[in-house]
Amino acid sequence: MKEIVVAVIGNPNVGKSTLFNELTGAKQYIGNWPGVTVEKKEGEKIFGDYKIRFVDLPGTYGLGASSIDERIARDYIVFEKPDVIVNIVDASNLDRNLYLTLELIETGARVVIALNMMDIAESKGINIDVDALSKELGVPIVPTIATKGVGIDELCSVIIKVAEGKIRYRPPKVKYPDTIEKAIMEISGLLSRITKDINTRWLAIKLLMQDKGIVEYIEGIEGGEEIVSVARSYVEKIRSELGEDPLFVIAEARYGVISEMMQRVVSRAYVEAVDISDLLDRVLTHKILGLPIFFAILWSVFLFTFNVAAPIVDGIDLLFGWMGEIIGSWDINPLLKSFLVDGVISGFGSVLVFVPNIFFLFLAMAILEDVGYMSRVAFNLDRIMRKFGLHGKSVIPMVLGFGCNIPGIMSARTIESEEDRLTTILVNPLIPCSARLPVLIMIASIFFGRYAPLAVFSMYVLGIFLALFMAILIRKIILRGVVSPFVMELPPYRLPSTKTVTIHMWNRGSKFLKKAGYIIFSATVIIWALAALPPGVEFGGPESYASILGRLIEPILRPLGYNWQIAVALFFGFIAKEVFIDVLGMLMGEDHEAQLGAMLSPAQAYGLMVFVVVYVPCLASLATIKSETGSWKWTIFVCLYELILAFILAFAFTGLVGLII
Amino acid sequence: MNVDAGYLKKIAVVSIVLGSTYLAIGIMEIASMFTQYGIFLISADIIGGFVSITIGLTYLFGIRGLLRGNKRDLGFPLAASILAALYFSIYSLILLADAAECYILKNEDYSGWTPMHSLRIEILIGAIAIIIAVEIWRRIKKDMFFKKIS
């Protein structure tokens, strides 16, 4: 079977994820782009005699290198050279999307356009002459409606024809002003002597646009430095002749081509009177109502995650209890029985019980994302973020942090300013991730009864507040500077696609399951061994290694009212936060919840929740902070400030809640 | 009927009724937290109260514009009704989850539970809000969305 590699690229919010999911279904592999920690998604589709491997590139408006996402997309297209590039274009927003298309065509790549959201364009009375547009651009175009799976097979069939060379390309050449054309010709001629693999006209344009990544690439080739210096002299010449930077002249010429093209291929049957997204945005981004509505929606997510998932959680809990009883009655080796009952069932099982909560949380977040509400959250919070010294783009890492801090920290890479990016990374671990959710739910359920969702919700509000508070401190004391401006696009609202939502939920939820399988189970084995050894001691008894370790840490935590078992749980929670429950389950046995209830007062329990939210990030988050900041200094800084903050806040909240209750 | 001044006035009246009701429910839900007296179908729920007040205010914020004939202010009752519908769904799902705890899992914490324990007034009013949301949505789609170029 022949294989075709297809890169999928498009502006943000053009339905790229939906189309990618439609093309690949559940056959997706998630990894990282080489050298960086940005998520790389790949999927496959068998179509006829071909295996088509789709590579999902980050959403981008152009092939510049102002952010890591843009650089990844550009480098993949230019240097990796996939067989075909599928450029997803929003039919209802054609002019804005065609800028990227023109850039792609200029690279000389074999482009197929998926003209997506045709239904929305039609409902807005936008008529696109697809054949005429295809002739203008010189590339094949397939109209699609990703949310309904329309045009998918046709798209695959065109991809194969393009890969087989059965479709001829006649791409247009954007005509730039004469001064620029002359410069392009000369630089292109020089470039053709040192590089054969990449379209030299496109490289020349990029050199004139002073694209940092391309300048560095050319300088790295023998003889490249001279060409870069020629390009620089042309840049100066163009500036003096045209009175403008070549970057703007080139962009203007491209928009001119698009504008003329639009007049020839697009007609409008209606004048838009009211857009339903505009109507809703008047309210959802309202300066007074926007935030209360956001909190109301966030609360609904909590009720869904906590209360609606409760019977499934309790059902799994009953199942593990039953399994514990069955295995407990087996006549097998006592050490093996102890491992199965005390380790696997009581420890590992107590973490797995919360899997439904995790999936419900991810389901709710996937729906909000697919509807288009998450962009409004960023918009609403941007005004506040700015006051706290955070960049508007920091909202997305913070929102992602609710799921897992690792992608949250990684996604800060889209922020251009180093100070803004560092601040976002340093405060991200304060956002309670889904791993902390089971711990919070367990403690809140034991101590706060029907107010448990409120207690958990308050931890999320505290986490957001602390992140903002620390951001302002960091920006005022350590990383001084002005917050860079932020332009944001609000996509139209749309009904969520079941397939996209399900795939999103599964991709994220399965990460938790994998983590449970590897990290938490490994931690279970270690902690079980510490509790069961040296041989002959009572499991988790005062002579066990676990107890010895716990008693070493206990004095530090004693002022907060935590005993050695909690100390060990917090210590191992550093590996992965859910391990906290795992450890308590093992050290206190199946009735660990009852024991914990007797051990702490509600005020101390609330303080413990605060401690769990704030104290050191998990091991994987710390590794990510190290790789993203490239500095041990910042990694240690995060550990230290969080640990100090956790002590102060847990102490303060224990006292405060003690006064109220 | 088109989206004319008369239609907008009708929606404004509905907004006044629903907005005031949600506002009153929200205040009672918060007040119930601090009193020992329970009110029928009203839960003592501070955040639930905050949510109801938010829904109520969203309805009420649109009234002035609607009475002045501003079609774009239909967004307020539409957004409020969508939010009310969201909570209708959430509270209904919680009622079903509680029923599952009581009747299927036989959870001790739910002994003596009846559907009335989890029935909230937001479920009843939310049903009306859903009808309003659908009505406004349909009307906007039909009469306001686009004007034909003549």
Q: Is B2 on the interface with A (CB under 8 A)?
A: no
Determine whether the interchain pair B90/A283 forms a contact, defined as Cβ–Cβ distance below 8 Å.
Answer: no
pLDDT digits (tens, 9 = 90+) for B76-127: 999 999 999 999 999 999 999 999 999 999 988 888 899 998 999 999 999 9
pLDDT digits (tens, 9 = 90+) for B62-81: 999 999 988 889 999 999 99
* pLDDT score at A236: 92
- A23 neighbors A4 (Cβ within 8 angstroms): no
For residue B78, the distance in angstroms to the closest alpha carbon of chain A comes to 7
CA distance B38 to B51: 19
| Total residues found in chain A within this entry | 661
Q: Is B95 on the interface with A (CB under 8 A)?
A: no
Q: Count other Cβ atoms within 10 Å, centred on residue A184.
A: 23
Per residue, the 3-state secondary structure of B55-93, as one string, reads: HHHHHHHCHHHHHCCCHHHHHHHHHHHHHHHHHHHHHHH
CA distance B145 to A120: 12
Instruction: Give the chain A residue whose CA is nearest to the CA of B62.
Output: A283
Determine whether the interchain pair B73/A276 forms a contact, defined as Cβ–Cβ distance below 8 Å.
Answer: no
Q: For residue A233, which amino acid is it?
A: S
In sequence order, what are the residues at sequence separation of 6 or more whose Cβ sits closer than 8 angstroms to the Cβ of residue A12? A59, A60, A61, A489, A491
Q: Is B93 on the interface with A (CB under 8 A)?
A: yes
Q: Is B24 on the interface with A (CB under 8 A)?
A: no
Interface of B with A in 61-90 (CB under 8 A): 61-62, 71-76, 78-80, 82-83, 86-87, 90
Determine whether the interchain pair A300/B87 forms a contact, defined as Cβ–Cβ distance below 8 Å.
Answer: yes
ipTM: 0.94
* pLDDT score at A30: 56
* pLDDT score at A41: 80
Structure tokens at A56: 């999902």
Q: For residue B20, which amino acid is it?
A: S
Determine whether the interchain pair B51/A299 forms a contact, defined as Cβ–Cβ distance below 8 Å.
Answer: yes
| Chain B residues touching residue A458 (CB < 8 angstroms) | none
Residue A359 Cα distances to A221, A305, A325, angstroms: 50, 8, 28
CA distance A597 to A605: 9
* pLDDT score at A29: 61
Q: Is B60 on the interface with A (CB under 8 A)?
A: no
| Chain A residues touching residue B54 (CB < 8 angstroms) | 289, 292-293, 295-296
| Chain A residues touching residue B137 (CB < 8 angstroms) | 276
Determine whether the interchain pair A457/B78 forms a contact, defined as Cβ–Cβ distance below 8 Å.
Answer: no
| Chain B residues touching residue A292 (CB < 8 angstroms) | 50, 54, 57
Residue B76, CB half-sphere, CA atoms under 13 Å: how many?
28
Using DSSP's 3-state secondary structure scheme, residue A575 falls into coil
For residue B144, the distance in angstroms to the closest alpha carbon of chain A comes to 6
Q: Kindly report the average pLDDT of chain B as a whole number.
A: 88
| Chain B residues touching residue A295 (CB < 8 angstroms) | 50, 54
Determine whether the interchain pair B147/A271 forms a contact, defined as Cβ–Cβ distance below 8 Å.
Answer: yes
Structure tokens at A14: 């053009």
Q: For residue A536, which amino acid is it?
A: G
Domains of chain A, each with CATH number or no CATH = 2-163 (3.40.50.300), 178-268 (1.10.287.1770), 290-479+500-660 (no CATH)
Parallel, antiparallel or unpaired: strands A50-56 and A2-10: parallel
- A41 neighbors A21 (Cβ within 8 angstroms): no
Determine whether the interchain pair A274/B101 forms a contact, defined as Cβ–Cβ distance below 8 Å.
Answer: no
- A381 neighbors A411 (Cβ within 8 angstroms): no
- A266 neighbors A126 (Cβ within 8 angstroms): yes
Using DSSP's 3-state secondary structure scheme, residue A223 falls into coil
CA distance A227 to A409: 38
For residue B61, give the nearest of A289, A304, A309 by CB distance. A289
For residue B90, the distance in angstroms to the closest alpha carbon of chain A comes to 7
Using DSSP's 3-state secondary structure scheme, residue A28 falls into strand
Over chain A (661 residues), the average pLDDT of each successive run of 10 is 91 84 72 52 88 89 76 86 93 90 91 92 86 92 90 93 84 84 92 87 92 88 90 91 87 90 84 75 92 92 89 90 87 84 78 83 88 84 76 75 79 74 92 88 89 88 91 85 64 84 84 74 83 81 86 89 89 83 80 84 94 89 83 92 94 89 73
* pLDDT score at A36: 46
Torsion of CA B144, B148, B149, B150, to 10 degrees: -120
- A89 neighbors A101 (Cβ within 8 angstroms): yes
CA distance A635 to A286: 38
* CA angle A428–A434–A440, rounded 5-degree value: 105
Per residue, the 3-state secondary structure of A184-210, as one string, reads: HHHHHHHHHHHCCCCCHHHHHHHHHCC
For residue A270, give the nearest of B58, B79, B149 by CB distance. B149
For residue B150, the distance in angstroms to the closest alpha carbon of chain A comes to 9
CA distance A573 to A554: 15
- A172 neighbors A230 (Cβ within 8 angstroms): no
Alpha helices (H) along A41-129: 68-75, 94-106, 118-123
Determine whether the interchain pair A283/B107 forms a contact, defined as Cβ–Cβ distance below 8 Å.
Answer: no
For residue A307, give the nearest of B79, B97, B146 by CB distance. B97
Q: Count other Cβ atoms within 10 Å, centred on residue A326.
A: 11
Parallel, antiparallel or unpaired: strands A266-268 and A126-128: antiparallel
Among A71, A100, A4, smallest CA distance to A43 is for: A4
* pLDDT score at B2: 63
Residue B144, CB half-sphere, CA atoms under 13 Å: how many?
23
Interface of B with A in 98-137 (CB under 8 A): 100-101, 104-105, 107, 137
| Chain A residues touching residue B65 (CB < 8 angstroms) | none
* pLDDT score at B1: 46
Q: Where are the domains of chain B?
A: 5-143
Q: For residue A207, which amino acid is it?
A: L
DSSP string, A412-426: GGG--SHHHHHHHHH
Determine whether the interchain pair B146/A282 forms a contact, defined as Cβ–Cβ distance below 8 Å.
Answer: no
Among B54, B147, B120, B10, smallest CA distance to A269 is for: B147
Residue A98, CB half-sphere, CA atoms under 13 Å: how many?
26
Tokens 């651009």 -> residue: A137
For residue A272, the distance in angstroms to the closest alpha carbon of chain B comes to 5
CB pairs under 8 A between A and B: 113
* pLDDT score at B87: 97
Burial of A357 (0-12, 13-18, 19+ CB in 10 A): buried
Q: Which of B71, B94, B148 to mutate to probe the A interface, most A CBs <10 Å?
A: B94
In sequence order, what are the residues at sequence separation of 6 or more whose Cβ sits closer than 8 angstroms to the Cβ of residue A513? A355
- A354 neighbors A438 (Cβ within 8 angstroms): yes
Number of continuous H segments (helices) and E segments (strands) in chain A? 32, 10
In sequence order, what are the residues at sequence separation of 6 or more whose Cβ sits closer than 8 angstroms to the Cβ of residue A116? A10, A14, A15, A19, A88, A89, A90, A91, A144, A145, A146
Residue A599 Cα distances to A440, A566, A594, angstroms: 17, 10, 9
CA distance A566 to A588: 10
Q: Which of A289, A456, A457, A660 to mutate to probe the B interface, most B CBs <10 Å?
A: A289
| Chain A residues touching residue B141 (CB < 8 angstroms) | 276
* pLDDT score at A139: 92
Q: Count other Cβ atoms within 10 Å, centred on residue A556.
A: 12
Q: Is the pLDDT of residue B148 over 70?
A: no
* pLDDT score at A149: 86
In sequence order, what are the residues at sequence separation of 6 or more whose Cβ sits closer than 8 angstroms to the Cβ of residue B98? B110, B113, B117, B118
- B58 neighbors A283 (Cβ within 8 angstroms): yes
* pLDDT score at A618: 86
* pLDDT score at A485: 57
Tokens 């189970």 -> residue: A521
CA distance A49 to A46: 7
- B70 neighbors B7 (Cβ within 8 angstroms): no
In sequence order, what are the residues at sequence separation of 6 or more whose Cβ sits closer than 8 angstroms to the Cβ of residue B61? A283, A286, A288, A289, B76
